[in-house]
Amino acid sequence: MLAHALALTTLTLAAAAPRLEAAVAVGAGYDSNLNNAAGPSAAVGSGFTALRASGGASLDVGEATSLYGGLRLELERYQDVSDLTTGRAGLEAALVQELGRKWSITLAPSAAAIRVGDSARDATLLAAQATLRVKPVRDLALRAFYGHTSRQARDAVFSAERDRLGGSVEWRVSEGSYLTLAYAVERGDEVFYRSTSGGSVPMMGGRMVSLFGRNEEAFRAPATSQLFTPSLELGLGGGVHLLASYDLRLVRSDVADFPTHSVFVGLGVRR
């Protein structure tokens, strides 16, 4: 009886032991419209390099429930607009609840400190997202999500409150390889820029900047964006994978309507 109880206790502790997880990716890309310009002739683009790393632990707290907690670090360096180079360090968590064999829901809060080349853009970020996933077949996952982000910057011009609603289709092409198509609608604050030449009067709450090679005023206004993101993760074995993504963002506002294009290619390792 005692031996049976000890064996049962050992199995329970083993099942409850946290699983360590870590991932890192490095790569490069290009963003076509960093200054949110309405026309292509006025748009300022730049190449960038990126480092993204995360690590944490997940724990099963029931037959259908798991928890995750960890750290995330990100660095993006813009070659042509150094004032937009950004470093981010934060905490993230997730509660995953399986709803039968095919359905699950994930609640994921996060918090981060952001440091930017232009210190007026330094900020704290609080975010939360709820995701509903269904797998109609083994290699296909459909997701719907809603998220809210609150960015509080040193200068209020660069602060933002944003809501995002969207979904994605993910197909596991082969072991370790995934093809994903995501779409989202986002509403919230955007930063726009206008020339101060010709004696224009600064707006209330605006900020003078010159990061795009000319004197401009940065100001904040509400906008609605549509985002289309196809991406590919190609497994190379041993947890190593190639990453490729393309982002098309269509922004509509009373100030300006404009598109932005962004591409990224990188190499990642996941354990």
**How much is the pLDDT for 207?**
84
Q: Which domains, from first to last, does the chain contain?
A: 20-270 (2.40.160.40)
3-state SS, one letter per residue, for the chain: CHHHHHHHHHHHHHHHCCEEEEEEEEEEEEECCCCCCCCCCCCCCEEEEEEEEEEEEEEECCCCEEEEEEEEEEEEEECCCHHHCEEEEEEEEEEEEEECCCEEEEEEEEEEEEEECCHHHCEEEEEEEEEEEEEEECCEEEEEEEEEEEEEECCHHHCEEEEEEEEEEEEEEECCEEEEEEEEEEEEEEEEEEECHHHCCCCCCCEEECCCCCCEEEEEEEEEEEEEEEEEEEEEECCEEEEEEEEEEEEECCCCCEEEEEEEEEEEEEC
**How much is the pLDDT for 2?**
41
Regions of the chain with pLDDT less than 70: 1-16, 197-205
**How much is the pLDDT for 198?**
54
**How much is the pLDDT for 8?**
41
**How much is the pLDDT for 241?**
96
Q: Which residues of 229-257 are buried (b: 16+ CB within 10 A; e: fewer)?
A: bebbbebeeeeebbbebebebebebebbe
- Predicted model pTM: 0.87
**How much is the pLDDT for 40?**
80
**How much is the pLDDT for 216?**
87
**How much is the pLDDT for 220?**
92
